Amino acid sequence: MEYYKAGGYHSVTIGDYFHHRYRVVHKLGHGTYSTIWLARDEVSNRYVAVKICTADSNPREENQSTHIDHDLIPTISDIFNIQGPNGNHTCLVTRPARMSLSDAKNGSWISLFQLELMIAVQYIHSQGIVHGDLHRGNILLRLSRDFDELSTEMLYEKYGEPVLEPVNRLDGKEIPPDVPQHGVVPIWLGEASEDVTLPEAKILVSDFGEAFCPTHEQKFESHTPLLVRPPEARFEPTRPLTFSSDIWTLACTIWDIMGQRTLFEGLLTNDDDMTSQQVDLLGPLPSEWLTKWKEIRNKDSKSTHQPSTSSTRSWEDRFEKHMQQSRIREGMPPFESRERDAFISMLRSMLRFRPEDRPSAQQVLESEWMSTCVYLNDPSKQYPPLKPVSHNNGPDTG
């Protein structure tokens, strides 16, 4: 509730009516710079997600995702502003989603997720845009087509009515007008992966708040989670980030989806721990990066790890532990050696330390694993045809 203040969140109540068409029926969630609400669009008679940004934020995603038109990317269908006691708030309207892949469990066998993700990133790059924040939490599983057919009453019957938690001040004083009288527990629209049919297993690549166009803007700092953050953000902080930064985070995310666990691990890890893990798996850092790492460590008396120069846990070992064993536990056939080798080869190329050595998104899409092996373990061929992929390689990934 501390974010409900001048420059912060806008206070919303179930039943609020925005922009003469959007009636709030539930809460979807919140982030540092926004709250997100499920609303019924009474013009189109559909459900929408209304993202209400904090008054002091500058929602960059409206500048990027409004220019992207693709079935795998949630288009911003409307933008408007509301004035409240905490300031002026930009509101972005998109289609709602079922859940993020961070919330989905045991769905790693659906190879279509990885293919769709790769197609989406290739398209984003072909439009001259770097996403800048690719991870499982920003990859959404879309809702079924019949979701819009639910009335509000049917929605509440299936998913539950909004749960309101009273807001009280510790000093017992009256709640000010910039703070809601009740907090709303977010609705859970997710389902068990076994209840999601294959035709419904479609993703949306979301959250373009960190996206940028390298030909018009230079960006030097990465805000992706540390576990998937590209190493050049640490070792080359004066060099602008590029499309290749997305390729690194994409590789980590693909592993995360396939194995249902992160490639690099650590709940409370730091930069030094992360570099050590990267070296353990990928081998020595570039010489100038290794020199810089030693300098950083010499200045940090608390550092405990020693720079490594060789890999200590092989890709094959990790694949066996994270991928094969989990499939066997779930009663699914293990990956064949051909697919394993093609998968590891693809990720190795995407996780090269030097950004200029990584493949473009188009090249990844044309890799052996993406172009042929991605269907080997597909238990059904009932997918609708995918849109053709442009063979325009787009901007240079260096």
Bridge partner list, 242: none
Strands 182-185 and 163-166: antiparallel
Residue with tokens 């909004």: 162
Classify residue 132 as left (phi > 0), alpha (psi -120 to 50) or beta: left
Q: Is the pLDDT of residue 9 over 70?
A: yes
Together in a domain, 66 and 160? yes
pLDDT number for residue 396: 41
Q: Is the dihedral of CA 173, 177, 182, 186 positive or negative?
A: negative
Query: Does residue 64 or residue 74 have the better pLDDT?
Result: 74
Q: Is the pLDDT of residue 305 over 60?
A: no
Contact indicator for 230, 238 with CB cutoff of 8 Å = no
Selection from 242, 207, 29 nearest residue 120 by Cα: 207
Last residue of a domain, one of 132, 158, 188: 188
SS3 label, residue 140: strand
Together in a domain, 179 and 277? no
pTM: 0.82
Give the tens place of pLDDT for each residue, 331-348.
Answer: 778 888 998 999 999 999
Q: Is the pLDDT of residue 392 over 60?
A: no
Together in a domain, 219 and 196? yes
Last residue of a domain, one of 188, 211, 241: 188
Together in a domain, 148 and 269? no
192 burial (CB, 10 Å; 0-12 / 13-18 / 19+) is exposed
Helix axes 271-282, 287-299, angle to 10 degrees: 150
Together in a domain, 167 and 77? yes
Number of structural domains (the chain) is 2
Q: How far apart are CA 104 and CA 141, in angstroms?
A: 8
187 Cβ contact partners less than 8 Å away, ≥ 6 residues apart: 26, 27, 28, 38, 159, 160, 162
Q: How many CA atoms lie within 13 A of 130 on its CB side?
A: 29
Q: How far apart are CA 342 and CA 311, in angstroms?
A: 20
Extract long-range pairs of 195-199: CB within 8 Å, 24+ residues apart: 196/98, 196/107, 196/141, 198/110, 198/112, 198/379, 198/380, 198/382, 198/383, 199/382, 199/383, 199/384
Q: In this structure, what CATH number is given to the domain that contains residue 66?
A: 3.30.200.20
381 Cβ contact partners less than 8 Å away, ≥ 6 residues apart: none
Together in a domain, 176 and 136? no
> Could you write out the three-class secondary structure of 155-211?
HHHHHCCCEEEECCCCCCCCCCCCCCCEEEECCCCCCCHHHCCHHHCCEEECCCCCC
For 382-396, what is the mean pLDDT?
36
Q: How far apart are CA 349 and CA 339, in angstroms?
A: 15
Give the tens place of pLDDT for each residue, 237-283.
Answer: 999 999 999 999 999 999 988 877 889 988 778 999 999 999 999 99
Which residues fall in the annotated binding site? 51
pLDDT band at 194 (very low <50, low <70, confident <90, very high): low
pLDDT number for residue 198: 65
Together in a domain, 35 and 137? no
Which residues fall in the annotated binding site for ATP? 51
Together in a domain, 65 and 197? no
Q: Is the pLDDT of residue 380 over 50?
A: no
Report how far Cα 20 is from the mean position of its chain's Cα atoms: 31
Together in a domain, 217 and 130? yes
For 53-63, what is the mean pLDDT?
78
Q: How far apart are CA 330 and CA 71, in angstroms?
A: 31
Selection from 394, 16, 302, 336 nearest residue 180 by Cα: 16
Together in a domain, 158 and 239? no
Ranking 255-259, 289-293, 366-370, 378-382 by mean pLDDT, the lowest is 378-382
pLDDT band at 382 (very low <50, low <70, confident <90, very high): very low
Q: How far apart are CA 168 and CA 166, in angstroms?
A: 6
Bridge partner list, 81: 90
Contact indicator for 80, 19 with CB cutoff of 8 Å = yes
For 36-46, what is the mean pLDDT?
97
Give the tens place of pLDDT for each residue, 222-234.
Answer: 999 999 999 999 9
Which range of residues forms the domain containing residue 150? 1-95+144-188
pLDDT number for residue 73: 86
Together in a domain, 258 and 163? no
Q: In this structure, what CATH number is given to the domain that contains residue 376?
A: 1.10.510.10
pLDDT number for residue 292: 93
Give the tens place of pLDDT for each residue, 90-134.
Answer: 999 999 998 888 876 555 445 668 888 999 999 999 999 999 999
pLDDT band at 385 (very low <50, low <70, confident <90, very high): very low
Together in a domain, 171 and 311? no
pLDDT number for residue 225: 92
pLDDT number for residue 50: 97
Give the tens place of pLDDT for each residue, 137-160.
Answer: 899 988 988 999 999 999 999 999
pLDDT band at 10 (very low <50, low <70, confident <90, very high): very high
Beta strand extents in 179-322 (DSSP E only) = 182-185, 203-205
pLDDT number for residue 90: 95
